[in-house]
Amino acid sequence: MGVRIKPKRSETSSSTPGTSDIEVGEIAVNITDQKIFIRKSDDNIIELANATGISDVVDDTSPQLGGNLDLNGNDIVSTSNADIDIIPNGTGDINLGADTVQVGDNNANATITTQGTGDLILNTNNGTNSGTISILDGANGNITITPNGSGNVVLDGLSFPNSDGSAGQFLKTDGSAALSFASVTSSFTKMDAITTDGSTAYTLNVSSSAFTSATTNGTIVSVNGVTQAPVDAYSISGSTITFTESLSSDDVIDYIIAIDTQDIGTPGDGTVTAAKLDTGLKSFTEDTFTGDGSDTTFTLSVAPPSDTSIMVFLDGVSQPAGNYSVSSTTLTFSTAPPDSVAIRVLHLGFTGSSAAITDGGVTINKFASEVFKRRAWEEKDGNFTAVAGGAYLIDVSSAALTATLPASPSLGDEVRFLDATGSAGTNNITVGRNSQKINGNAADLTVSTNSAAFLLVYYNSTYGWRYTEV
């Protein structure tokens, strides 16, 4: 017959035996709690088994799940500011089967980063048929956005092209959020001849068809050999040019030249200043010759793109384009300029090389006003210092005044003066030379002719300021 072992027992819930209940090595059972206890030699009472499982995961040094772990609305947390590490074995990955993954605690800023020096790459479908966003590790590392295949990068609704353009091209929009590369094109267009009839408004035509100019400031107009000031002398709206004063049938419109433009975007009005232009656009090239009464051809320093891209003066009088032609660097007059006449040729900035604007191309109507528009006329009734490009209406009806020319002028600087009140004969206008010569003379200029109007153009230190038309 077998030996029957009957351990000490209790049916009281949550009752644990003490050292007075069992000896060292003896076993006790709590029938209600379904737990087994034993007394060790150090008098500690140890729980050997529990029918409901272990009381704490820490009691198992290598636990394994036999099924899904249901948190039952609870969280996985750590204590003492310890990290929570989820580390797959070998090449295993961590898959989060949720359509939304949230990071950061209680409105704090969240950081997603790599452990170590690896790059951070975001893609879809395990990288299959997916674009990528890569944050490259290391100092001065790039952030790259690479669409898949022929896909585009779309930023704030703007779709960027998926391939680079050619050198010197710019990005332009189609007005429907699609961007593409395009090239800058610019040229000059000469209007058809206009017969004046005593009115102020005339229609602009090219090859007998109405022509719409971009802006008033984008045109050059010469009447009776005198270049007119945009806005002050005329304005353009659509294909109509309107002069501020009526033109009689005796007046002659020598030429009207418009600068063709291409819309390349929307830089802010007046934001493209002269500082952003290539030197060839800021400083007009000048050629000077002297007529001998027989020669009709002269060699220019650069080849202009067309007859209408230069301005030609004989003794300060602007010549109509019909009086000359250009072929490469050869300027040919229809009639030989008279002996000793001063020939001056101004290139309008766009030479044969057509240097590019330094920070990318822009349309003419986006240039700052000083680039193509003559300085507006200013009224002066007291002593003043003129600036290059200035135009001054002088009022000496009450007292004489002195207009001091600019200091340190450059080749081609211009200043205009007009005795607006017709009083210079009584109250003289003195033009102070400011250490430069005037028409070759080291003396100030005294104007004593009523209603005198003249333009001074600076040449060099030998001749100083030279007279030409208003």
Res 223 pLDDT > 60: yes
What mean pLDDT, rounded, does the chain reach? 82
pTM of the model: 0.35
**Strand ranges (E), 191-271:** 201-203, 205-206, 209-210, 219-223, 226-227, 234-237, 240-243, 253-260
More confident residue, 261 or 81: 81
Q: Do 8 and 21 meet the contact criterion of CB atoms below 8 Å apart?
A: yes
pLDDT at 59: 61
CA angle 218-222-223, nearest 5°? 135
Of 72-86, 173-187, 280-294, 351-365, the poorest mean pLDDT is in 351-365
pLDDT confidence of residue 257: 83
Whether 247 and 200 have beta carbons less than 8 Å apart is answered as yes
Query: Each residue of 348-402: pLDDT tens digit?
Result: 754 454 444 445 455 555 555 444 444 468 899 999 999 988 889 999 999 999 9
Cβ neighbours around 396 below 10 Å, total: 23
- C-alpha distances in angstroms, 207 versus 152, 163, 223, 235, 256? 44, 40, 21, 22, 13
pLDDT at 48 over 50: yes
User: 463: which 2 tokens?
Assistant: 């001749």
How large a percentage of the chain has pLDDT more than 70?
83
Buried b (16+ CB within 10 A) or exposed e, 70-84: eeeeeeeeeeeeeee
- Nearest Cα neighbor of 332 from 365, 366, 295, 377 is 295
Query: Would you give the distance in Å from CA 134 to the centre of its chain?
Result: 27
CA angle 329, 333, 337 (to 5 degrees): 120
pLDDT per position as a tens digit, 101-136: 888 887 888 888 888 898 988 888 888 888 898 888
CA-CA distance, 220 to 257, in Å (whole number)?
A: 5
Whole-number pLDDT of residue 1: 54
How much is the CA Rg of the chain, to the nearest whole Å?
45
Asked whether the beta carbons of 45 and 38 are under 8 A apart, the reply is: yes
Neighbouring residues of 258: CB distance < 8 A, sequence distance ≥ 6:
188, 189, 191, 204, 211, 213, 214, 218, 219
Answer yes or no: are the C-beta atoms of 315 and 341 closer than 8 Å: yes
Please report the pLDDT score of residue 355 as a whole number.
44
Q: Which two tokens stand for residue 178?
A: 């699609």
The residue type found at 141 is: G
Which range (164-168, 171-175, 183-187, 354-358) has the least confidence?
354-358
Amino acid at 421: T
Residue of 190, 215, 206, 239 lying closest to 348 (CA atoms): 190
